[in-house]
Chains A and B, each alone.
Chain A
Amino acid sequence: MSGVGDAPRATHELRVERLTRAFGEHYALVELSATFRGGEVCALLGPNGAGKSTLMGLLSTLMSPTEGEISLDGRPLSVVGARALRALIGFVGHHTMVYGALTALENLVFFGELYGLRPAEGLEALALRRLDEVGLAGAARRAAGGFSRGMAQRLSLARALLHDPAVLLLDEPFTGLDQEGIAQAEALIADRRARGAVVIASSHDLGVMERLSDSLLVLRGGRRVYHGPAGAGGLSLAARYHLSVAGGRA
Chain B
Amino acid sequence: MSAPRAARFGRAVWVILRKDLKVEARSKETLATLALFGAVLAFVFAFGFVGDPAVNLQVTPGALWAGLLFVGSLGVGRTFAREQEDDAFTALTLSPAPRAALLAAKALVNFGLTAGAMALLTPLLALLLHVDLTPHALPLAALLALGAAGFALVGTPLAVLAVGARLPEVLLPMVTFPLVTPVLICGVRGCAAQLGTSVDDDVWAWAQMLLAFDLAAGVGAFLLFDSMVSE
Binding site for B on A (CB under 8 A): 1, 57, 60-64, 83-84, 86-87, 89, 91, 93-102, 106, 110-111, 113-116, 152, 159
Out of B23, B27, B86, B94, which one reaches A86, CB within 8 Å? B94
Given contacts A97-B86, A97-B88, A116-B11, contact A110 B19 (CB under 8 A): yes
* A101 and B26 within 8 A (CB): yes
Interface centre among B11, B23, B27, B86 (most CB of A within 10 A): B86
Over the window 22-42 of chain B, the binary record of Cβ atoms lying under 8 Å from chain A Cβ atoms (1 yes, 0 no) is 110011000000000000000
Q: How far is the CB of B161 from chain A (nearest CB, A)?
A: 16
Residues of B within 8 A of A116 (CB): 8, 11, 96-97
* A83 and B98 within 8 A (CB): yes
Q: How far is the CB of B16 from chain A (nearest CB, A)?
A: 7
Out of B16, B23, B27, B90, which one reaches A114, CB within 8 Å? B16
Q: Range of interface residues on chain B?
A: 20 to 34
Q: What 5 pairs between A and B have smallest CB-CB spacing?
A: A95-B87, A87-B96, A97-B91, A101-B23, A113-B15
* A95 and B96 within 8 A (CB): no
B134 interface residue (CB < 8 Å to A) = no
Given contacts A93-B87, A101-B23, A101-B27, contact A63 B231 (CB under 8 A): yes
* A1 and B86 within 8 A (CB): no
* B88 and A84 within 8 A (CB): no
Chief secondary structure at chain B's binding surface: helix
Q: How far is the CB of B226 from chain A (nearest CB, A)?
A: 9
**Cα-based distance from A113 to B19 in the complex (angstroms):** 11
* B98 and A62 within 8 A (CB): no
**Cα-based distance from A93 to B90 in the complex (angstroms):** 9
Given contacts A101-B23, A102-B22, contact A95 B86 (CB under 8 A): yes
* A1 and B96 within 8 A (CB): yes
B12 interface residue (CB < 8 Å to A) = yes
Residues of A within 8 A of B2 (CB): none
Given contacts A102-B22, A115-B96, contact A95 B90 (CB under 8 A): yes
* A84 and B15 within 8 A (CB): no
Contact sample, A vs B, 20 pairs, CB 8 Å cutoff: A1-B96, A62-B94, A64-B231, A83-B96, A89-B94, A94-B87, A95-B90, A96-B86, A96-B87, A97-B88, A99-B82, A102-B22, A110-B15, A113-B11, A113-B15, A114-B15, A115-B95, A115-B96, A116-B11, A116-B97
**Cα-based distance from A110 to B95 in the complex (angstroms):** 11
**Cα-based distance from A111 to B97 in the complex (angstroms):** 10
Q: How far is the CB of B1 from chain A (nearest CB, A)?
A: 14
Interface centre among A63, A100, A101, A159 (most CB of B within 10 A): A101
Over the window 194-231 of chain B, the binary record of Cβ atoms lying under 8 Å from chain A Cβ atoms (1 yes, 0 no) is 00000000000000000000000000000000000011
B137 interface residue (CB < 8 Å to A) = no
Query: Which of B65-111 touch A at CB < 8 Å?
Result: 82, 85-88, 90-98
* A98 and B91 within 8 A (CB): yes
* A98 and B94 within 8 A (CB): no
Q: How far is the CB of B46 from chain A (nearest CB, A)?
A: 35
Out of B11, B86, B93, B96, which one reaches A62, CB within 8 Å? B93
Q: How far is the CB of A51 from chain B (nearest CB, A)?
A: 15
Residues of A within 8 A of B16 (CB): 114
* A64 and B230 within 8 A (CB): yes
Residue of chain B at shortest CB distance from A159: B91
* A62 and B95 within 8 A (CB): no
**Cα-based distance from A110 to B17 in the complex (angstroms):** 11
Query: Which of B116-147 touch A at CB < 8 Å?
Result: none
Residues of A within 8 A of B12 (CB): 114
Q: How far is the CB of B52 from chain A (nearest CB, A)?
A: 48
Given contacts A63-B231, A102-B23, contact A97 B95 (CB under 8 A): no
Interface centre among B11, B86, B91, B92 (most CB of A within 10 A): B91
* B95 and A86 within 8 A (CB): yes
Residues of A within 8 A of B15 (CB): 110, 113-114
* A57 and B231 within 8 A (CB): yes
* A100 and B85 within 8 A (CB): yes
**Cα-based distance from A111 to B93 in the complex (angstroms):** 11
Residues of B within 8 A of A101 (CB): 22-23, 26-27, 82
